[in-house]
């Protein structure tokens, strides 16, 4: 099985900056109603919330520190229980 190119990039980055990357596999999904969602935060007030993971439909906001705080807390909670992967 061929390795995804992004893993090659992660390994190269790890060699150059060992403390800059840590890969983990989440043990659960984020569900809102009947839908799995994906999200990212970019700073203290910006987020993107993908509410349809098949069509990549999303909402976002560049000035919502309250929602970003909640998403960051959710991420930290999930990250702390995720399985660490070797790079």
Q: Check residue 8 and give its pLDDT.
A: 87
**Tens digit of pLDDT for each residue in 39-54?**
999 999 999 999 989 9
The pLDDT of residue 33: 85
pLDDT at 77: 93
Pairing mode, strands 57-61 and 23-25: unpaired
The reported pLDDT for the residue numbered 59 is 95
As a whole number of angstroms, the distance between CA 81 and CA 84 comes to 9
Residue 83, strand partner residues: 25
Q: What pLDDT sits at residue 57? A: 94
Over range 9-18, report the average pLDDT. Answer: 90
Evaluate whether 85 touches 75 at the Cβ level (below 8 Å).
no
φ and ψ at residue 6, rounded to 5 degrees:
-65, -30
The mean predicted confidence, pLDDT, of the chain is: 91
């Amino acid at each position: 099985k061929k390795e995804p190119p992004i893993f090659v990039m992660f390994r190269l980055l790890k060699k150059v900056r060992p403390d800059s990357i840590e890969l983990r596999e989440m043990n659960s999904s984020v569900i809102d109603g009947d839908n799995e969602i994906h999200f990212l935060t970019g700073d203290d007030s910006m987020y993107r919330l993908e509410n349809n993971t098949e069509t990549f439909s999303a909402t976002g906001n560049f000035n919502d520190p309250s929602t970003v705080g909640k998403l960051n807390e959710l991420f930290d909670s999930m990250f702390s229980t995720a399985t660490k992967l070797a790079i």
